[in-house]
Amino acid sequence: MNRTVLIAAGAILAVIAAGVVYLLTATQPKPSITVVSWGGAYLTSQIEAYHKPYMATHEAIITSESYSGGIALVKAQVESGAVTWDVVDFEVADAIRACDEGLLETIDLESLPPGADGKPATEDFLKGSLDPCYVATIVFSHIIAYDKSKFPTDPPTTAAAFFDLATYPGKRGLRRQNPKSTLELALYADGVPANLVPEVLKTPEGLDRAFAKLDTIKQDVVWWQEGAQPVQLLASGQVVMTTAYNGRIFDAVVGEGKPFATIWDGQRFDLDVWGIVKGTKNKALALDFLKFSTDTQRLADQARYIAYAPARASSIKIIEEPGFTHAIKGVRMLEYMPTAPQNAFNSITTDHRWWADHQEEVEARWNAWLAQ
């Protein structure tokens, strides 16, 4: 008995001693920042295109964390004064709200790197993708995807087909939270021209019209919450058609050989942006990383890993070159890009500012509509 105790005590002491020795001999830690993003294939693309090259050329460590969007966690950190996230990848409407709430540091936009062609950043970035609170990295898109094997003849090609249960029978997948893109899609499918959708949606009649359109398929909808779910719902046959993020469908088609196809008609652009959390102790490093990752080459590099388009014109020029292909699969990326001319013919525009102000009100009605 005594011996066992002795051995146990010895082992514990040895572990503690080893820990102390390790701490004493470990070299001065490198400065580090925590970069928070969405996980999955998207995070991988950022690590390959931004994090790894940055760590290779700078004396710094980048720690990655995943979250599922929203600003609640950032708000909690800022309000409690315990900021552990430095740079966060937001959807642009969330970044606008975070900025309104005073949760983001301001960025001097003049200090961003100019384009490869020498154009200042403020002219090179796409419209709406720069703000003192955030800098956009990618353009992604809300699209409709369907299972080709379910419609061997006469496949659907329009957004209207999504609401046409007679011609294309089967369950539909729609996003449960955040009704923004869904309501806009409903209006577009109901005949509102793509560029007028935001204006119509702002009127009470327009909102009623969107809900009325959704009423026509409500009984046949399976609701998804996470970006990976639409792919899974399609693969398991739970739905035949679903809204999704274009990059996820690209991954399923090119990466896993799934028989899915994308309907680009009525796609809706969205932006992912970097924001720096207010009160971070590593603001200088965070800012340096932000500038590094948003230069022309880095943004273009990311498009080698995922079908999201870079948010600056000079980077788009690079991905349009004939030799620009996926890093592993070797397919030409341009045809999968939401911004490519053949895909962007009928893209719904959106008013992020209006949504930042009215999301709460519309969501209250959305939640009530869903529960009825």
Partner 1 sequence: MSTSGPTLARQLGRAEAKARLKSFGLVAPLLVFILASFALPIATLLVRSVHNPEVAAALPATAAALQIWDGARLPDEAAFGALAQDLLTAPEDALSRAASRFNSDLPGGRALLLLTARALKASKDAPSRARFVQIDPRWGEQQVWVQLGVALEVWTAKNFVTAMDYRYDENRAVVAQPREKQLYVTLFLRTLWVAGAVTLLCLVLGYPLAYVLAQAPQRLSNILMIFVLLPFWTSLIVRTTSWIVLLQDHGPINDMLLALGLIDDKSRLALIYNATGTLIAMTHILLPFMVLPLYSVMRGIPPTLTRAALSLGAPPFLAFLRVFLPLSVPGIAAGSLLVFILALGYYITPALVGGLSGELYSNQIAFHMQSSLNWGLASALSVILLSAVIGFYFVYMRIIGAEGLRLT
Q: List residues near partner 1 by CB under 8 A.
A: 70-72, 75, 97, 100-102, 171, 177-178, 211, 222-223, 225, 236-238, 353, 356-361, 363-365, 367-372
Nearest distance from residue 101's CB to partner 1, in Å?
A: 5
Which amino acid is present at 58?
H
Minimum CB distance to partner 1 smaller for 206 or for 338: 206
Note the Cα 107 to chain centre separation in Å. Answer: 21
- In which residue are the tokens 């572990």 written? 15
Of 193 and 237, nearer to partner 1 (C-beta) is 237
Is 226:172 a contact under the CB 8 Å cutoff?
A: no
Residue whose CB is less far from partner 1, 244 or 362: 362
Nearer to partner 1, 157 or 367 (CB): 367
Burial class (CB in 10 A: 0-12, 13-18, 19+), 65: middle
Q: How far is the CB of 282 from partner 1 (least distance, A)?
A: 20
Q: Which is nearer to partner 1, 75 or 317 (CB)?
A: 75
The least distance separating partner 1 from the CB of residue 217, rounded to whole angstroms, comes to 13
